[in-house]
């Protein structure tokens, strides 16, 4: 792609004009990238060159970005928010075969907190509340990752992530994942008094021996006196 460069025009410090006459690679008066951009990278030290096209908002990548080989073959489609990967990203071979599908969650640098559902420890499908968590990092693995055999197009591997950690449990939908760990802070009940717990054999023998008889008073150490305050 041949670009003609201009500078100091209107609200932009510099920009380029594309083959179709559109304004590209804009830099505003504050030095921030704005609007549609095309980035060209040459081959370098064995690394294949590429071209990327997408949109900048206040110097940060925003929305869909596409990457091509220098021969014009599409090799990646990525989504961005706040300058970081967000949502589904797909990667292809030079022949156009899908090899990997990723899912990301970008973190708002101005508000690095999010509300996540808290699931019942006994029923993973039941939401019992929400919890505010601080998200560490700029972009997190979040959702379903799929790896493909480029020859057959079949899925060879699937990973599920929740806020940059491997997800556990079955989800109704690929991206409807559950938190990894929910701590049960409720008071623990004595398992010896649970309803339906079988009685010890000594108790059963005692009840059988005294069945039908007048209630036998068992001394348990208690007294009839009121406790001293």
Asked if residue 200 is part of any domain, the answer here is: yes
pLDDT score recorded for residue 92: 97
Encode 146-162: b = buried (16+ Cβ within 10 Å), e = exposed: bebeeeeeeeeeeebbb
Asked if residue 112 is part of any domain, the answer here is: no
- pLDDT-derived band at 211 (thresholds 50, 70, 90) equals low
User: Distance between CA 2 and CA 4 in Å, rounded?
Assistant: 7
Per mean pLDDT, which range of 20-24, 59-63, 135-139 is the poorest? 135-139
pLDDT score recorded for residue 141: 94
Backbone angles phi, psi at 171, to 5 degrees: -115, 145
- Fill in the DSSP letter of residue 195: T
Asked if residue 67 is part of any domain, the answer here is: yes
| pLDDT greater at residue 217 or residue 204 | 204
| Per-residue pLDDT tens over the stretch 82-131 | 999 999 999 999 999 999 999 999 998 888 888 877 778 788 778 888 88
pLDDT score recorded for residue 109: 86
User: Could you tell me which of 148, 180, 145 has the C-alpha nearest to residue 160?
Assistant: 145
- Fill in the DSSP letter of residue 183: -
- pLDDT-derived band at 187 (thresholds 50, 70, 90) equals very low
Stretch (H or E) spanning 136: none
Kindly report the average pLDDT of the chain as a whole number: 78
Task: Residue 167: give the domain boundaries.
Answer: 4-107+136-209
Segment 217-224 shows an average pLDDT of: 47
pLDDT score recorded for residue 220: 45
pLDDT score recorded for residue 85: 97
Give the count of domains, the chain: 1
pLDDT score recorded for residue 74: 97
Q: Which residues pair with 207 in a beta bridge?
A: none
User: Distance between CA 112 and CA 116 in Å, rounded?
Assistant: 13
Per mean pLDDT, which range of 124-128, 180-184, 198-202 is the poorest? 180-184
| Per-residue pLDDT tens over the stretch 132-169 | 888 777 899 999 999 999 999 999 999 999 889 998 76
Asked if residue 22 is part of any domain, the answer here is: yes
Asked if residue 226 is part of any domain, the answer here is: no
CA angle 117, 118, 119 (to 5 degrees): 115
User: Which are the contacts of 4, defined by CB distance < 8 A and separation ≥ 6?
Assistant: 16, 17
For the full predicted model, state whether its pTM sits above 0.85: no
User: Distance between CA 13 and CA 8 in Å, rounded?
Assistant: 5
Asked if residue 41 is part of any domain, the answer here is: yes
User: Which are the contacts of 148, defined by CB distance < 8 A and separation ≥ 6?
Assistant: 97, 98, 99, 100, 101, 154, 155, 156
Contact yes or no for 145/102 (Cβ under 8 A): yes
């Amino acid at each position: 792609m041949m670009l003609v460069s201009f500078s100091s025009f209107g609200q932009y410090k510099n920009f380029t004009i594309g083959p179709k006459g559109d304004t590209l690679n804009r830099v505003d008066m504050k030095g921030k990238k704005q609007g549609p951009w095309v980035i060209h990278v040459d081959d370098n030290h064995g690394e294949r060159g590429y071209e990327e096209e997408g949109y900048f908002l206040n110097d940060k990548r925003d929305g869909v970005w596409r990457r091509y080989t220098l021969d014009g073959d599409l090799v990646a489609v990525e989504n961005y928010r706040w300058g970081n990967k967000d949502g589904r990203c797909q990667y292809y071979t030079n022949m156009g075969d899908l090899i990997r599908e990723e899912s990301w969650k970008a973190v708002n640098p101005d508000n690095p907190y999010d509300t996540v559902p808290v699931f019942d420890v006994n029923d993973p499908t039941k939401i019992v509340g929400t919890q505010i968590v601080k998200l560490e990092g700029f972009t997190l693995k979040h959702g379903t990752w799929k790896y493909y055999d480029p020859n057959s197009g079949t899925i060879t591997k699937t990973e599920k992530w929740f806020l940059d950690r491997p997800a556990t449990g079955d989800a109704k939908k690929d991206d409807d994942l559950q938190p990894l760990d929910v701590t049960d802070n409720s008071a623990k009940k004595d398992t010896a008094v649970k309803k339906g717990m079988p009685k010890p054999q000594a108790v059963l023998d005692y009840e059988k021996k005294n069945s039908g008889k007048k209630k036998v008073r068992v001394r348990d150490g208690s007294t009839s006196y009121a406790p001293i305050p």
